[in-house]
């Protein structure tokens, strides 16, 4: 069963069965609700410095951990590659920052 979310730009983002299985086996600390919240209301979004077709959505979960949802941007839609927790955002150009004009 595929899951569908809406990001902060009001675009549809798909979580495939394969990506869902990977996330919940390798990164069980990230829930579907976490993914939904991060996509809808991220603290920051960066372009990946490794894959120019991917955006990294970040939200601070605790004082020292961020949730990161990686979204691949394709002509036929936006797809979640993975979601995990990290201690800091990765290098990449900031394309959205909450509260910035």
Residue 1: per-residue pLDDT: 62
Regions of the chain where pLDDT drops below 70 = 1, 101
* Model-wide pTM > 0.75: yes
Residue 100: per-residue pLDDT: 78
In whole angstroms, what is the distance from residue 29 CA to residue 26 CA? 9
Q: Is residue 35 classed as helix, strand or coil in its secondary structure? A: helix
Nearest to 57 by CA among 31, 84, 76: 84
Alpha carbons within 13 angstroms on the beta-carbon side of residue 86 total 14
Q: Is residue 20 classed as helix, strand or coil in its secondary structure? A: helix
Residue 38: per-residue pLDDT: 98
Residue 50: per-residue pLDDT: 87
């Amino acid at each position: 069963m595929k899951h569908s979310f809406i990001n902060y730009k009001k675009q549809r983002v798909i979580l495939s069965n394969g990506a869902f299985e990977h996330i919940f086996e390798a990164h069980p600390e990230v829930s579907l609700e976490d993914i939904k919240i991060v996509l809808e209301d991220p603290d920051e979004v960066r372009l990946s410095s490794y894959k120019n077709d991917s955006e990294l959505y970040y939200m601070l979960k605790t004082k020292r951990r961020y949730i990161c949802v990686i979204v691949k941007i394709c002509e036929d839609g936006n797809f979640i590659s993975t979601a995990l927790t990290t201690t800091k955002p990765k290098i990449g150009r900031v394309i959205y920052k909450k509260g910035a004009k």
